[in-house]
Amino acid sequence: MVAPLEPDDPRTLGGFRISGRLGEGGQGVVYLGHAPDGAPVAVKVLKTGLDPVVRARLTRELDVLRGVAPFCTARVITAMVDGREPYVVSEFVDGPSLQQRVTASGPLRGGELERLAVGTATALAAIHGAGIVHRDFKPGNVLLGPDGPRVVDFGIARHDESETMTAGPVGTPAYLAPEQIAGHPATPASDVFAWGATIVFAATGRAAFGAGNVAAVLHRIMTTFPDLTPVPPPLRAPVERCLAKDPAARPAARDLLL
């Protein structure tokens, strides 16, 4: 769903015409844009205040992102990191997020759920294979395009994140891995944990570790294990392994896919 532009929103960025808002999150605002040839694109304007360390890592990661397999992710087209308004332009995926789809129509079933699991595990394997950690894998960052699920928002350095994680855990609380809550940097194993929690949400329509205030959710992630009975048998065992409290006990994304 495209919302109208607000008065302070840009109308053009680097030759791309901006026509509406697609969403807003912790990293910044995502706009619907159009390339000079009229093709639709997603333009994410990152929050200002990126410190030099984050800017440098963002530049490095964007170079790598262009090599990630585009069939399961939104391809990065171009980016401007050094300007007053840093932004990233990527392929526009015409479809709702998994969060929107489940909220509107309920849990996924059968082949639809299995396609989601395989497609997103493929994306994680490709992202990790490029040496990138997603850091914020969640239903809102899985878009259900006409040709299958696409994972977005991966590898982009957060404006409030430094190499030392002094700002605390980064990501959406309900999908943070225990080690992130304990203050350790995100790793590929953290993404795999978030994948497991995302599949639970897709299969049940509920967050794996329940709702409520952030402190209560984080406590449950650290100390309890979700009821996986509603998750169909072909997926239940791998999801259970992915939700292990110990990151060393979780499968790598490549092994998860196989």
Domain ranges of the chain: 12-91, 98-257
pLDDT single digits (tens) 7-54 = 999 999 989 999 999 988 767 889 999 999 999 999 988 876 566 776
Residues 116-133: tens digit of each pLDDT: 999 999 999 998 988 888
Report the alpha-carbon distance of residue 49 to residue 54 in Å, rounded.
10
Residue 124: C-alpha distances to residues 131, 226, 246 (Å): 11, 22, 19
Report pTM: 0.85
The answer to whether 136 is a known catalytic residue is yes
Instruction: Name the nearest CA neighbour of 240 among 177, 180, 193.
Output: 193
> In angstroms, what CA-CA distances link 105 with 118, 142, 229, 235?
21, 16, 21, 21
Least confident of 49-53, 199-203, 254-258: 49-53
CATH 3.60.20.10 fits 98-257, yes or no: no
Q: Tens of pLDDT along 160-199?
A: 343 333 344 556 789 999 999 999 999 999 999 999 999 9
**Equal fold, 12-91 vs 98-257:** no
Q: How far apart are the two ends of the chain, measured CA to CA in Å? A: 35
Kindly name the residue from 37, 51, 82, 136 that is annotated as catalytic.
136
Q: Report helix, strand or coil for 126.
A: helix
Residue 118 CA, chain-centre distance (Å), reads 16
| CATH classification for the domain delimited by 12-91, as one of 3.40.50.20, 3.20.19.10, 3.30.200.20, 3.30.530.20 | 3.30.200.20
